[in-house]
Amino acid sequence: MKTMYGKSLVTVDSLSLSDVDSLFQKADIMRKIVTEKGATDSLKGKVMAALFYEPSSRTFSSFITAMQRLGGGIVPLNGMSHTSVVKGETLEDTVRVFSNYADAIVMRHPDPGSVELASRFATKPVINAGDGINEHPTQALIDLYTIQQQLGRIDGLHILMIGDLGHYRPTNSLSKLLALYPNVTLSLATPSQVPIQDGVRKYLQQKNVTFAEYTDFKDLIPTADVLYVTRVKKEYMSEELYKKVKGSYIVDKSVVDKMKKKSLVMHCLPRIDEIHTDVDSDPRSIYLTHQVANGLYVRMAILEAILKNK
């Protein structure tokens, strides 16, 4: 992709290293603007519709705040239960309609591929805010930006992801984004009942990423630069499967004590019980601080890249 202007962001596959670098430079500028002035009028006159067919705290709120801090307008629908979707309106018709009101549509939906479908029918750019168990590109960009900000580089790092990786869309997108960096080592630890998706595995193989799959993670802790913890996605599995995998991996102080001094514990939240609260105050834990704060700056950068033609 030469430029993100006017384009949908459905999958991280469409992003080049230069797109990512440009977004990160823009996110730095957004951080400065928010810290020093609070807001800018860079997207004055533009409107963003947020169509969230699934619950969200962070993604919804940070996109709304991002657009407001860029001086733009919003159509905020956090849940579609009071829209004509309940009368049976199709996704295709809904996004065609909202394309008349807004300059960009941010969409979350439980079905994998739904945002790609929407992008074919919308006449305005559509941004994927999570489509089922498939992808969550903006979260992965936030996570990557946070790693670079905190550790000063991506190249050469050992990134360890643990949890229900079979259903976790942010780690699907982040694993693929890490393929842009030649010397990353990726360790993926997930219970045997919820292996990583074939599509993700094939993508990493095609891109020659150094990666390995595990069912236990404890031996990998001392060499990890980043420990990325994920939630078991109860909403995407049967009660029976949930009972089998819940509580598989728990990160507590005894785990973090074995990590490098300069390393990171990340989680894109919500956290249930997979990271004990005794880890929260460790300086390496950034899931409730930098990782959340950067959501605003990176989403401001994404909106400006898509909506503003320089």
Q: Which residues bind ligand CP (CB under 6 A)?
A: 56-59, 130, 139, 268-270
Residue 167 bears catalytic tag: no
Q: How far is the CB of 56 from ligand CP (least distance, A)?
A: 3
First to last CA, the chain: 16
Question: Which of 31, 58, 233, 267 is flagged as catalytic?
Answer: 58
Residue 108 bears catalytic tag: yes
Tokens of 297: 């700056």
| CA 67 to centroid of chain Cα atoms | 18
Measured from the CB atom, the residue of 56 and 263 that comes closer to ligand CP is 56
Question: Which of 108, 124, 231, 290 is flagged as catalytic?
Answer: 108
Name every residue whose Cβ is closer than 8 Å to that of residue 128 and which is 6 or more positions away in sequence: 8, 9, 10, 11, 107, 115, 135, 136, 137, 138
299, 96 contact by CB (below 8 A):
no
Measured from the CB atom, the residue of 72 and 295 that comes closer to ligand CP is 295
Sheet holding 47-52, edge to edge: 73-78, 47-52, 104-109, 126-131
Measured from the CB atom, the residue of 42 and 236 that comes closer to ligand CP is 236
Residue 58 bears catalytic tag: yes
Q: How far is the CB of 269 from ligand CP (least distance, A)?
A: 5
Question: Which of 2, 87, 261, 310 is flagged as catalytic?
Answer: 87
Q: How far is the CB of 208 from ligand CP (least distance, A)?
A: 29
Name every residue whose Cβ is closer than 8 Å to that of residue 123 and which is 6 or more positions away in sequence: 96, 99
144 CB neighbour count, 10 Å cutoff: 24
300 CB neighbour count, 10 Å cutoff: 29
Measured from the CB atom, the residue of 20 and 268 that comes closer to ligand CP is 268
Q: How far is the CB of 52 from ligand CP (least distance, A)?
A: 8
Q: How far is the CB of 54 from ligand CP (least distance, A)?
A: 8
Name every residue whose Cβ is closer than 8 Å to that of residue 179 and which is 6 or more positions away in sequence: 203, 204, 207, 209
Measured from the CB atom, the residue of 113 and 270 that comes closer to ligand CP is 270
- 127 beta partners: 9, 106
Question: Which of 11, 59, 138, 185 is flagged as catalytic?
Answer: 59
Measured from the CB atom, the residue of 56 and 94 that comes closer to ligand CP is 56
Q: How far is the CB of 235 from ligand CP (least distance, A)?
A: 11
Residue 59 bears catalytic tag: yes
Active centre residues (catalytic): 58-59, 87, 108, 136
